[in-house]
Structure 1
Amino acid sequence: MRRRGGSKKELIPVMGTSEEEEEITIPSQFQCPISYELMKDPVIIASGITYDRESIDTWFESGNRTCPVTNTVLTTSEQIPNHAIRRMIQGWCVANKGSSSLDRIPTPRVPITSHQVVEIREKLSSATRRGDHVSCVEMVKKMKRLGKESERNKKCLSENGVGFVLCVCFDAFSENASNVTTVLLEDVLLLLTWMFPIGLESQGKLTTTASFKCLLSFLRRGDQNAAFLVKELLSFDEANVHALVAINGVEEAFVKSIRDSVSLTSIYRMISVKPETISRFLELGLVNLTVEMLVDSENSVCEKALLVLDAICEREEGRREVRGNELVMPILVKKILKISESAKKSLVSVMWKVCKTGDGSEVEDALRLGAFKKLVVVLQVGCGDGTKEKVTELLKMMNKQMKMIGFVDRSDSSIEFRHLKKPF
């Protein structure tokens, strides 16, 4: 293990040839003045002091604009690789490798600079205007490679206007998308997931009819980057929802690609903003698909699936479809006490809408499945006002149904609605 000595010289325990533990003291010039650890990527800042890049990055990201050693106010946070020190450190590691567990520190990749990003951005912009597919592919792949090297590079790309140019590029080539441009467009989608949130001007390029149609074509193929981007676009502005649902086949695209909380979030957004889309979603079997997703799903998927069912139940045609699915009530009852508070709110709302507008058979089903006792627990543990009112009404309906059919809850036959304790 490493430890810091009182003289601020790090001691690294190593195993010698005699298998006895020895310690190697790191030369002070090889230690980062912030962490006192061996520098892996030494860089010089404006004050002339050398630090390990990771340590000085953390210092600057914390809002500091001074040199940690000299306390000098810095006019720039730019860093220059100290190649001389790095080579000396690498040589020292190699020289001590025979008698220690030290490995030679690999030569770090130098992060991209803002100037380099602007140069790449302008080349991509120019190539897009010319319709130069080959040059666009070259620039986009270069950005992709740089972004994969480090999070710092991704941040630098995002902060220097690359997002807008990528949106322009996507819109330009989506107009006549073909097998030739597919790889370019896929790579642009990947890069854009690093850039969100993007500005209104950039959104405008992704929400044209051509761009939306192209995004939907990728969505049908199961492209998760396209699914993410559509979800983000729909969450920004209702106008984006209206623009998307105006495209023929949009409901089919989402039903075909439904697989996780991302797609469910987009569907919920469309149904909430444009309730008339419910009819088409019902024709495509959305209720059955959503109910299937509730079975053994993780909490995030469960939350979104219940939101979708709740939105569907706003309409009578939706409630009829939900009632017609024999799995709905058993799953709802099973999950009452096993989900998050957010999901519970939607679940209770679905059950309330279905039972309140049904013929009484739904209430009886819920009773036989053990819903009464579980709803009592929900009420006593506590929930939001809106949910509490729905739970109370459900319990009243069930209590009335018990008397009508002479039903006795064998799990706890002493429970009567009038004996319920007040919620905490």
Structure 2
Amino acid sequence: MEDIEIPQYFICPISLQIMKDPVTAITGITYDRESIEHWIFQAKNTTCPVTKQPLLIPTDHCSDLTPNHTLRRLIQLWCTQNAVDRIPTPKPPLTKCNVINLVKNLRFPNLQLQTLRKLEVLSIEHERNRKCMVEAGVNKAMASYLVNCHEKNETTGIEEALSIFNLVRSSTSEVKALVSANDDRIIEALVWVLGLDVSNFVTVKSHAVLVLKTIIGKASSSVLERLKPGFFKMIVAVLKQGISQQGINAALQIMLDTSPWGRNKITLVESEAVFELIELELSFPEKKTTELILGILFHLCSCADGREQLLRHAAGIAVVTKRLLMVSPTANDRAMLILSLVCRFSSGSYLVSQEMLKVGTFTKLCIVLQSDSPSYLKDKAKEILKAHYDVWKDSPCIEVTTLKEVYYSCR
């Protein structure tokens, strides 16, 4: 094919390849459908790549991209005449009506798995398909399917349904409607999935916790306030089950989103969440994971039982201290707030003061004062140093002059 001159108007201006499915935009320029749709829907561009004129794509996503059937036939004829692999006739774009008809097949048990697999392929295939599936209410159908599986204790098709739910993103209003329509049963169904013993549990449970993160992240406060203890026990258990890193971060995000509520906080502590979070942090996770863990620990340490669990763990204070100034500004804020909470409610405890001294908290706080950290972090560091002055001033491990300088600077 290197010796064959390809007509210039057969070449897509974006991909610079022979067009398979030429479509003409409202600006009059013809592109290969895959390239121009990627330009519009995934790269989020709103202008024509060639003319730089606006591309006004309406809600049905594709009506301003007109198929150029004549050019496609010319390309196919030219390929045949020049012994070039024939360009296949493109499939017609997926429509909302196509999706609705597919979803209707879920009513028939013998067609359910086949239908779910077809929907999954379509959702993976193209962003255009996913937008069309959103309009057709696919996630509502997936939620109903998962609820029915839970009620009937059937596991067939749950992996595909969860995969589709993750790929076809719902808006906040749609998620709230899903929870309301199912009377929280979708949350119960997802918790049930997390407790299943299935062969491909890593994939299934990772998908389930990602869906749950989406729902919890967009749920109303009334939904978050009525979550049951079993919900939190299962989320904590997920951290120990060896799921994907993405799944672990999703579980942590769920905990972070739900922990500000008082009853949820207590339930998480009762579920031994503090211990599991510290153990997870000791495995040296990625930055995002550390930020999430410290954020949750801050909320849990705002109650007495949470602080008691942190102090009971041999590495509790140590791991928080170590992460200070080592990960990110967000992690710095959260680590300092945890230390501040522990200090505020345990400043009279000799054992806590000795523990903080032993694991290097004093040294790290002094480094904060000498660094270019924000002033509010330095103020928190001074508060902690001042609160423990009476114990630390008698320690042979500390330069008394340094401690006195810090102490008098805080007055």
Note whether the superposition's TM-score is higher than 0.5.
yes
**Residues 175 and 374 of structure 1: is their aligned pair in 2 closer, same or farther, counting only changes over 3 Å?**
closer
**Residues 196 and 403 of structure 1: is their aligned pair in 2 closer, same or farther, counting only changes over 3 Å?**
same
Check whether the contact 2:336–2:381 (CA below 8 A) recurs between aligned residues. yes
Give 1:64-143 correspondences, 5 Å limit: 64=47, 68=51, 76-80=63-67, 82=69, 83-88=72-77, 90-91=79-80, 94=83, 104=85, 107=88, 110=91, 112-114=93-95, 117-124=96-103, 126-127=104-105, 131-143=107-119
SS in structure 2 at match of 1:249: helix
| TM value normalised by structure 2 | 0.78
After superposition, what is the alpha-carbon deviation per residue over 1:162-199, rounded to whole angstroms, capped at 9, x for unaligned?
3333334444x2462323xx233332221111222335
Matched, 1:311 2:299: yes
One-letter code of the match for 2:163?
L
Give 1:19-38 correspondences, 5 Å limit: 25-32=5-12, 34-35=13-14, 37-38=16-17
Task: Report deviation, 1:149.
Answer: 2.3
After superposition, what is the alpha-carbon deviation per residue over 1:277-329, rounded to whole angstroms, capped at 9, x for unaligned?
44443343222211011111111111111112111111111111111111112
SS in structure 2 at match of 1:176: helix
Check whether the contact 1:141–1:187 (CA below 8 A) recurs between aligned residues. yes
Matched, 1:198 2:162: no
**Residues 89 and 242 of structure 1: is their aligned pair in 2 closer, same or farther, counting only changes over 3 Å?**
farther
CA distance in 1, matches of 2:335, 2:18: 54
Matched, 1:381 2:371: yes
Give the gaps of 5 or more residues in structure 2.
241-247
**Residues 309 and 70 of structure 1: is their aligned pair in 2 closer, same or farther, counting only changes over 3 Å?**
closer
Selected match of 2:186 from 211, 233, 248: 211
Matched, 1:299 2:266: no
Selected match of 1:240 from 198, 212, 223: 223
One-letter code of the match for 2:207?
N
Selected match of 1:290 from 277, 284, 287: 277
Aligned-CA RMSD value = 3.6
**Residues 333 and 26 of structure 1: is their aligned pair in 2 closer, same or farther, counting only changes over 3 Å?**
same
Greater relative contact order (Cα < 8 A, sep 6+):
2
Task: Report deviation, 1:37.
Answer: 1.9
CA distance in 2, matches of 1:361, 1:105: 79
**Residues 219 and 379 of structure 1: is their aligned pair in 2 closer, same or farther, counting only changes over 3 Å?**
farther
**Residues 175 and 200 of structure 1: is their aligned pair in 2 closer, same or farther, counting only changes over 3 Å?**
farther
After superposition, what is the alpha-carbon deviation per residue over 1:137-172, rounded to whole angstroms, capped at 9, x for unaligned?
34322211112223332233234433333334444x
Q: Which moved more, 1:349-358 or 1:399-408?
A: 399-408
Task: Report deviation, 1:69.
Answer: 11
Matched, 1:187 2:160: yes
Q: Which has the larger radius of gyration?
A: 1
CA distance in 2, matches of 1:354, 1:203: 37
CA distance in 2, matches of 1:111, 1:389: 64
Same amino acid, percent of matched pairs: 18
Q: Which moved more, 1:198-207 or 1:263-272?
A: 198-207
Name the structure 2 match of 1:100. Answer: none
CA distance in 2, matches of 1:230, 1:392: 41
Name the structure 2 match of 1:162. Answer: 138
Task: Report deviation, 1:342.
Answer: 0.8
Check whether the contact 1:30–1:89 (CA below 8 A) recurs between aligned residues. no
CA distance in 1, matches of 2:326, 2:316: 16
Q: Which moved more, 1:371-380 or 1:284-293?
A: 371-380
SS in structure 2 at match of 1:63: coil
Task: Report deviation, 1:384.
Answer: 4.8
CA distance in 2, matches of 1:397, 1:105: 79
Name the structure 2 match of 1:51. Answer: 31
Task: Report deviation, 1:127.
Answer: 4.7
CA distance in 1, matches of 2:163, 2:252: 21
Task: Report deviation, 1:347.
Answer: 1.0
Give the gaps of 5 or more residues in structure 1.
1-11, 15-22, 96-103
Task: Report deviation, 1:249.
Answer: 1.9
